[in-house]
Amino acid sequence: MTTNITPIRHFAPAAPQTRLRLTARGRRLLITLVVIPVALALLWAMFNGGGANATNTTYGNTLTYITVDTNDDLWQIAQREAPQADTRAYVEAVISLNHLQGDIQPGQRLALPTGF
């Protein structure tokens, strides 16, 4: 006689899934670990983020004044007044010293640095 035996498989019952609950203590811990460091970073950025960029550039004790001629530009003035100096640095110094925003005009009076 032939007996057909089928194995019985036993499965463990699935554990009931619980909802994650955030308790009052957990909320306080979350606030402490997230909000306080963010607030400290913002305070640090607020007080250290916008420092002035000061330089120790001096152009000498005296200034020379010129009146701009027709067809003069800052590059020509720099090459004429300080031929031994770096022309770019001299032009930058003239712009900074005279608070120039745009082109120079004939008849305009410019202060020139003498320490180059």
pLDDT digits (tens, 9 = 90+) for 60-84: 567 889 999 998 999 999 999 999 9
Distance from C-alpha of 84 to C-alpha of 72, rounded to nearest angstrom: 19
SS3 category, 31: helix
Residues present in the chain in total: 116
Distance from C-alpha of 110 to C-alpha of 64, rounded to nearest angstrom: 8
For each of the domains in the chain, give its residue range(s) and CATH number, in order of start.
63-113 (3.10.350.10)
Q: Is residue 52 a contact partner of residue 43, using CB atoms and an 8 Å limit? A: no
Which tokens is 12 given? 């463990």
Q: What pLDDT, on the 0 to 100 scale, is given for residue 107? A: 93
Please, which pLDDT band fits residue 88 given cuts at 50, 70 and 90? very high
